[in-house]
Structure 1
Amino acid sequence: MTESRRAPSGCAMFGIYSGMFRRRRSASMSSLSRINGSPQAAAADSDAAPPNPAQRKAGVRDDSSLVPRPKVMPLQPQINGAAAAQAQAQRPSGDKSKPTRAMNGGAKAAAASPAVEYTGMAAELDKMIQDHQRVKGTTQMMRATSGNMMMHRNLGNLNAGASARSSLDRSTKAAAAAASDRAKAGPGSNGYAFSGMGNIVGKPGEQLCRALSHRTDPEKLKEMGNEEYREGHYAEAVALYDQAIIMDPTRPAYWSNKAAALAALGRLVEAVADCKEAVRIDPSYGRAHHRLGGLYLRLGEPDKAINYLKQSPMDSVSADVSRAQSVKGRIAKCGDARKVRDWITVLQESQAAVSDGADCSPQVMALQAEALLKLQRHDEADSALRGAPRFGADESTKFFGTTAHAYVLMVRALVDMAAGRLEEAVATAQAACELDPGSREAASVHRRAKAVATARQRGNDLFKASRFAEACAAYGEGLDKGEAGCAVLLCNRAACHAKLGRHEKAVEDCSGALAVRPGYSKARLRRADCNVKLERWEASLRDYQVLIQELPENEDVKKALAEVEAKLKSQRN
């Protein structure tokens, strides 16, 4: 038996029509949001209206909740406070709907709203932002407002004026001030100041905004690069000069200024290439000639430095040419003194060449390190070579030549061997031999490095097997065939002597290691311990006093020092 259906009452019909009206309004507003890029309207529809009292009374269910609402995909997942205030100000006075949650860039709305692909000016801007972020090393910047690009001067909806607000630093006060500024500007201003920039603002992006606003004016980019250079931001200056060069590669000043920034970053070889390009474009450009001469002087190429300096009209040319001639003479004296093994003269002349301006020359620094090494000042040689600039193998070979670069590698291998970095010494010496196969010196250093490395490895294996006498002989073989003053081999042999009870010989080997490397704490500690075994309290006390300054937190050294002081005091009493 079927139950007869009653005709709906007037209240029920009113509720049905109300639901239909709401559904149509929702669809129309969603379509409008997709056309205009207005996430505010879509967000306002997200809150359903409460049921009509007449519907509750008649028992009629509102089926509007069962109808799937059209999904709105805003162009931007986050809306800044200024855009929210603008949208709220444009709402009709009779609209009492709740403020939208999507205006503040909520986490749920951002996660549920996939990004919409777009082209044209928006895509171009995003690419430029990404390029700048890679240069700056930051990803803090983001587009803050809708995707509508309203053309004002160069970039329209990208304003860096006083009324712009950073999307990263929203606040109620900032939003209210922005809304007030827009109200004063009038309806025709659309809330944007006419400064040619956009809503990508804030201190992190200020330089980016300026670069984008003048992206068609390389002179402006050059001026901005000059400002970054004066402030010490050399990497940023290089990026700006690069952009100016891309736009107009025929301006020699752009290349010369970029060379100055590269030199400040220590990239001297690249700076030379850019200065040469500036000179090629304008052979009469005196500043580029002077800068190029200074670069060659720093790199230890005095002949080329003199050639370019003489073509510069600057007032300091005569003094600079005199310095370059002095460097040339000192390098020649170093070569002559090296042939006769006059290492003191080599050291003095190389240090004077550095003082005269050749402070980044790998050859001059290698001469200084070799002289210190031969004078048994291994720690100083290591410091001198570590402070020298390092260039890539291909770059250095192309710029300085194979023979000069092979000599630098050979000296580096000698310093590594003296410091106990034997694996590195073997590899570096082998590279020098491959680069200059005819060099007997490089071949000799390679053989010695291999002999020392093999002897130390065999001695270490024997020491671990408690075969101390054989280990002592292996270390001695390495000292005889390789480097007589190798501090590491001397200290290792001293350990073997100490294990065999030969403390006097252990002290001698430790003293030999400390003679070439005064900062070798391991050798000093071993000598102090051996002197304790020999009851030489004063000698042991001196070593422990040095060690407590080098290793102030070492508890073993503190304890040993206290025991030695007690023994010495007891002996004196």
Structure 2
Amino acid sequence: MTESRHPPSGCAMFGIYSSMFRRRRSASMTSLHRINGSPDASSDAEAEAAPAPVQVNPAHRKAGVNEDSSLMRRPNALPMPVANGAVARAAPPGRDRSRPAKMANGTNPAAEYTGMAAELDKMLLDHQKVKGTTQLVRATSGNMMLHRNLGNLNAGASGASARNSVDRNAKAANERKAPNGYAFSGMGNIVKEAKPEGELCRALSHRTDPEKLKEMGNEEYRQGHYAEAVALYDQAIMMDARRPAYWSNKAAALAALGRLIEAVGDCKEAVRIDPSYDRAHHRLGGLYLRLGEPDKAIHHFKQSPKESTGADVSRAQSVKSRIAKCNDARKLKNWITVLQESQAAVSDGTDCAPQMMALQAEALLRLQRHDEADAVFGGAVRFGVDESTKLFGTIGHAYVLIVRAQVDMAAGRFEEAVATAQTACQLDPSNREVANVHRRAKAAAAARLRGNDLFKASKFAEACAAYGEGLDREPSNAVLLCNRAACHAKLGRHEKAVEDCSGALAVRPAYSKARLRRADCNVKLERWEASLRDYQVLIQELPENEDVKKALSEVEAKLKNQRNGAASGRYQN
């Protein structure tokens, strides 16, 4: 049993200290002396004859407690706070009453005693010195009755129950409620204001009734609050994990959040609990269809005759046929067919199938449509390596990773491409295609990094050669082409720079940097019309770019002058 980390209440401290005081009372009372070692000359008889009163802060006086009470004349009374925040202690028996009370704040040390009470007082004083506060108070019978808010004890409430005391304190707290919505309970702690009784009862009933939690989860689901629905279904499952409906409903909420593989696991649990649960079978079939597993989808659709229809089975069979056509066309490098069949499979319901997304992206890469390939993976649901490998197998997930690595390379994310290809090699180390993609990614990333360093050092010819080495591995990489074009422009080879920029724009038409560089090189070559076309495209893509606006105006002026000059020449002839 683990130990509670909550601090003990005032009542608990009172009970602990009282028991210790009873055991050590005789030792504490017979060994009174100062901490500095000088014993007090007073005897026990003298102490009984001349008790010293406790100095009490008026702010701590309570109604019904008499200052002359014997509880306040105990020799070991608690140190009490005074106006300056220090702690005053009652003078020990036998001391000269004309001497002022001494403070325990370090400037004027107070007299202390040995025994259990002295040890506790010293611990409190040490804590106050370290923390810089005097709010720590030792619980004794005297100051329990004096302060009252150290526990749920009430003086003068004979015959009244603890509930009545709490009710009175709560009623008074409403009148002095703090602006932050919290109130003093009168029990020594600051607690949040209680909810109305009816609402509290309903909350308690919801916590203890899993069916109520399920209904609340259903309501959150209908309102589109899927994360809240998952949390409520989880609570219901914790209370009763034998209800398949809880697992199935949670799977629906997880699917809405895009966590399809987790949803599959929960649906499988629902089916395990109740193999005849039609709704769970139907939901599991739909999940498998979305994930590109048509055979499993067909199996579960057939297991739910009440929920599934013939259209569901037909759709799964169509997806199965399209996947087979994609794989056959890929072997023949018929990328048009691969693209068409993969897009049709997605339309039939495999909208979250990683393999379908990979086939579609690979076909777009081979067709030199790199921006579209990047968009396919950008909108796809990403799954973790472990869960994907568990569901699709190591070979299937390795194929998805090598396609993603090639898309990252085409988009200029070389470091990500290398890391993704490395993971694919670990999953399928004997696959030559995977190893080849990994080598290409590393070579292209190294060439780009070396070229960048040389370009920064103004070694443009060497940088141009470095980018060329990367292009030997990836001939249509738009980033490497654009970077080499920058080197050509620095070397005054504007014609070659235009060629490289055109090659980059052929695979990535939205690559603004390559278009801007080509427009600038065409200006240097005085190809005003070609430059104007690029600037007109750029002003649509970058409407707030002042440099583009200025360049466009200059090109328009140059082109106008050129046309006017040509017209005047024809007129003179």
TM-score using structure 2 length: 0.69
In structure 2, the residue matched to 1:183 is none
In structure 2, the residue matched to 1:565 is 556
CA apart distance, 1:545: 1.0
1:515 and 1:379 map into 2 onto residues whose CA distance is 10
Contact 2:62-2:147 within 8 A present in 1 as well: no
Contact 1:373-1:415 within 8 A present in 2 as well: yes
Q: Does 1:446 align with 2:519?
A: no
CA apart distance, 1:230: 0.4
Q: Does 1:376 align with 2:368?
A: yes
In structure 2, the residue matched to 1:143 is 192
In structure 2, the residue matched to 1:338 is 330
Letter in 2 for 1:492: N
Contact 1:510-1:524 within 8 A present in 2 as well: yes
1:318-360 per-residue CA deviation (whole Å, 9 max, x = no partner) reads 1011110111111111111111111111100100010000000
2:349 and 2:401 map into 1 onto residues whose CA distance is 23
Q: Is the deviation greater in 293-302 or in 390-399?
A: 390-399
2:223 and 2:174 map into 1 onto residues whose CA distance is 43
Q: Is the deviation greater in 469-478 or in 437-446?
A: 469-478
In structure 2, the residue matched to 1:395 is 387
Q: Does 1:509 align with 2:487?
A: no
Query: How many residue pairs get matched?
Result: 423
Correspondences of 1:516-527 after superposition (within 5 Å): 516-527=507-518
In structure 2, the residue matched to 1:530 is 521
In structure 1, the residue matched to 2:353 is 361
Unaligned runs of 5+ in 1: 1-18, 30-66, 77-82, 91-98, 118-141, 146-157, 160-191, 199-208
Q: Does 1:70 align with 2:146?
A: yes
- Secondary structure at the aligned position of 2:65 is classed as helix
1:533-567 per-residue CA deviation (whole Å, 9 max, x = no partner) reads 11111111111111111111111111101101111
CA apart distance, 1:396: 0.9
1:470 to 442, 458, 462: 462
Q: Does 1:416 align with 2:408?
A: yes
Correspondences of 1:148-547 after superposition (within 5 Å): 158-159=195-196, 192=197, 195=198, 197-198=199-200, 210-314=202-306, 316-480=308-472, 482-547=473-538
Letter in 1 for 2:547: D
Letter in 2 for 1:104: K
Contact 2:478-2:508 within 8 A present in 1 as well: yes
2:63 to 25, 44, 52: 25
Letter in 2 for 1:230: R
2:61 and 2:426 map into 1 onto residues whose CA distance is 81
1:324 and 1:298 map into 2 onto residues whose CA distance is 10
CA apart distance, 1:71: 3.4
CA apart distance, 1:314: 3.0
Unaligned runs of 5+ in 2: 1-56, 68-141, 153-163, 565-573
Letter in 2 for 1:530: C
1:553 to 517, 531, 544: 544
CA apart distance, 1:28: 8.3
CA apart distance, 1:89: 12
CA apart distance, 1:465: 2.1
2:326 and 2:435 map into 1 onto residues whose CA distance is 22
- Secondary structure at the aligned position of 2:268 is classed as helix
CA apart distance, 1:402: 0.3
1:49-88 per-residue CA deviation (whole Å, 9 max, x = no partner) reads xxxxxxxxxxxxxxxxxx9993354889xxxxxx9xx969
- Secondary structure at the aligned position of 2:430 is classed as coil
CA apart distance, 1:210: 4.5
1:118-161 per-residue CA deviation (whole Å, 9 max, x = no partner) reads xxxxxxxxxxxxxxxxxxxxxxxx7204xxxxxxxxxxxx53xx
Q: Is the deviation greater in 531-540 or in 452-461?
A: 452-461
TM-score using structure 1 length: 0.69
In structure 2, the residue matched to 1:104 is 177
**Change in CA separation of 1:454 and 1:549 when aligned onto 2, cut-off 3 Å:** same
Contact 1:75-1:116 within 8 A present in 2 as well: no
1:100 and 1:306 map into 2 onto residues whose CA distance is 65
CA apart distance, 1:27: 3.3
2:277 and 2:174 map into 1 onto residues whose CA distance is 61
CA apart distance, 1:520: 0.6
Identity fraction in percent: 76
1:115 and 1:550 map into 2 onto residues whose CA distance is 65
**Change in CA separation of 1:210 and 1:544 when aligned onto 2, cut-off 3 Å:** farther
In structure 2, the residue matched to 1:179 is none
1:415-446 per-residue CA deviation (whole Å, 9 max, x = no partner) reads 11111111111111111001100110110001
2:203 and 2:345 map into 1 onto residues whose CA distance is 42
2:276 and 2:66 map into 1 onto residues whose CA distance is 69
**Change in CA separation of 1:376 and 1:74 when aligned onto 2, cut-off 3 Å:** farther
1:214 and 1:475 map into 2 onto residues whose CA distance is 66
2:466 and 2:476 map into 1 onto residues whose CA distance is 15
2:213 and 2:275 map into 1 onto residues whose CA distance is 24
CA apart distance, 1:498: 0.7
Contact 1:459-1:471 within 8 A present in 2 as well: yes
1:540 and 1:513 map into 2 onto residues whose CA distance is 16
**Change in CA separation of 1:89 and 1:402 when aligned onto 2, cut-off 3 Å:** closer
CA apart distance, 1:453: 1.1
Bigger CA radius of gyration: 2
1:438 and 1:241 map into 2 onto residues whose CA distance is 44
- Secondary structure at the aligned position of 2:383 is classed as coil
CA apart distance, 1:25: 2.6
Letter in 2 for 1:292: L
**Change in CA separation of 1:390 and 1:114 when aligned onto 2, cut-off 3 Å:** farther
CA apart distance, 1:100: 7.8
1:101 and 1:249 map into 2 onto residues whose CA distance is 42
- Secondary structure at the aligned position of 2:207 is classed as coil
**Change in CA separation of 1:23 and 1:543 when aligned onto 2, cut-off 3 Å:** closer
Letter in 2 for 1:399: L
CA apart distance, 1:212: 3.0
1:382 and 1:335 map into 2 onto residues whose CA distance is 21
After superposition, the CA RMSD in angstroms is 3.4
1:387 and 1:368 map into 2 onto residues whose CA distance is 13
Letter in 2 for 1:320: D
- Secondary structure at the aligned position of 2:402 is classed as helix
Contact 2:302-2:308 within 8 A present in 1 as well: no
Letter in 2 for 1:348: Q
1:74 and 1:566 map into 2 onto residues whose CA distance is 87
